[in-house]
Amino acid sequence: MIQIKEAITKSELTDYIKFPFTLYKGNQYWVPPIIADELETFDKSKNPAFENAEAYFYLAYRNNKIVGRIAAIINWEEVNNQQKKKVRFGWFDVIDDVEVTKALLEKVYELGRKNNLEYVEGPMGFSNLDKVGVLTEGFEEIGTMITWYNHPYYSDHFEQLGYVTEKEYLENKFPFENVKLEFFDKAQELIKRRYQLRPLNFKKTKDVLPYVDKMFDLFNASYASLSSFVAISDVQKDYFKKKYISFINPEYIKFVEDKDGNLVAFAIVMPSFSKALQKANGKLFPFGFLHLLNARNNSKDVTFYLIGVHPEYQNKGVHAIIFKEYHTTFTEKGIQNCIRTPELADNQAIHLLWKNFDPKIVCRRKTFRKEL
């Protein structure tokens, strides 16, 4: 018999977070989160996502043993302002038993029907800056700190339960040696002169902080046209600034501004923390933070996390300025591999940015949908 229980207390939420540690024990491709970081993510008093969203966390038990977990989420900004009558689910992990998956998803349906919503989609988090999608190809690629890893049977469960593909995402990789300066060096010089633009580079985090609010405003403007986009609020900007900016090597943050000091483009690249997180095994102390600090400063693999260009400057080649700055930094750092985070398969504009570097698709992932 399967029992579903809501995780509410800190102890229950810790069990919720730790379940994948058991499910993927010994798996060389799964990358564990930091447990304390996940607890903060689920804390309504700390995570500003709860200002516009509600979420409930459920554990599935069989014979008093945890066999699955799921989060049922409503993003009210999406429902009320975008008129998308959707209930989300995320942080989903389960043993290979479709009945457990079915029982967990029933809690998501209950929340959706209670609020007169029309369909369910997942896996996905509270917003666009959370992890998204169930892995469908690339099970022998090590995960990243910003993606979920899962067993191959997850998508089979959804299909057995009548789900259809809603969105597909691609993850790509290319060796840095594929990035040739001649692809963009002359172009970026012309673009800088034509539009009176200049790149901004940083050595210290404190020098980045005055630009972060502008960056998030630009993020909202540059991603607004995507069908799944939900804007980041002012409170969320402060939260992400405090939580993540100091975590990123400032040399991997690039901005482009115009002659009046307006930000027109930005990019954030993160060193690969995958191996460091595996060594930390969910804990910052006593040695986990040392593994992360070493990766922050010395990893030879990097992940392109975000890149955005103001709508007025899109299709004008501004990304060439960013690539030139990264080429200089990566050459100095001895970077070997570049990884692209999940990008919508039908976003042709973003794929065209990378075509000269001959990227190879290494992972595919999907969100699945079902009408309520």
Range of the domain at 68: 2-170
Provide the domain count of the chain.
2
Distance CA 329, CA 322 (A): 11
Are residues 195 and 93 part of one domain? no
Predicted local confidence at residue 227, as pLDDT: 61
Predicted local confidence at residue 174, as pLDDT: 96
Which tens digits make up the pLDDT trace of 103-158? 999 999 999 999 999 999 999 999 877 999 999 999 999 999 999 999 999 999 99
Predicted local confidence at residue 228, as pLDDT: 62
Omega cis (within 30) before 286? yes
What phi and psi values does residue 323 have, to the nearest 5 degrees?
-60, -35
Q: Which of 122, 144, 170 is the last residue of a domain?
A: 170
Q: Which of 186-200, 227-241, 281-295 has the lowest mean pLDDT?
A: 227-241
Distance CA 202, CA 344 (A): 30
CATH code of the domain containing 294 = 3.40.630.30
Distance CA 44, CA 126 (A): 12
Are residues 151 and 61 part of one domain? yes
Distance CA 57, CA 53 (A): 13
Instruction: Dihedral sign for Cα 224, 230, 233, 235, please.
Output: negative
Are residues 278 and 238 part of one domain? yes
Mean pLDDT within 322-328: 96
Q: What is the mean pLDDT of the chain?
A: 93
